[in-house]
Amino acid sequence: MPAMDVDPASLEIVDHPHPVLRTPASPVNEVNDAVRAVADRMLELMVEAEGIGLAAPQVGLSWRMFVTRDPENEDGGMVWINPVLEPVDPTRETDEEGCLSLPGILVNVTRPVGIRIRGLNEHGEEVEAETDEHMARVWQHENDHLDGVLIIDRMSSMDRLRNRRAIRDLERG
Q: Which residues are catalytic?
A: 142
| Residues 128/149, Cβ–Cβ less than 8 Å | no
Q: Which amino acid is at 92?
A: R
Nearer residue to Ni ion within complex by CB, 24 or 124: 24
Residue 119 backbone dihedrals phi, psi, to 5 degrees: -175, -165
Rounded to a whole number of angstroms, the minimum distance from the CB of residue 99 to Ni ion is 3
- Site for Ni ion, rule CB under 5 A: 99
Rounded to a whole number of angstroms, the minimum distance from the CB of residue 30 to Ni ion is 26
How far is CA 81 from each of CA 126, 141, 153, 156, 173, rounded to the nearest angstrom? 9, 15, 24, 31, 31
| Residues 83/121, Cβ–Cβ less than 8 Å | no
Rounded to a whole number of angstroms, the minimum distance from the CB of residue 146 to Ni ion is 11
Nearer residue to Ni ion within complex by CB, 34 or 98: 98
- Taking the CB of residue 92, how many other CB atoms lie within 10 A of it? 11
CB closest to Ni ion, residue no: 99
Nearer residue to Ni ion within complex by CB, 34 or 44: 44
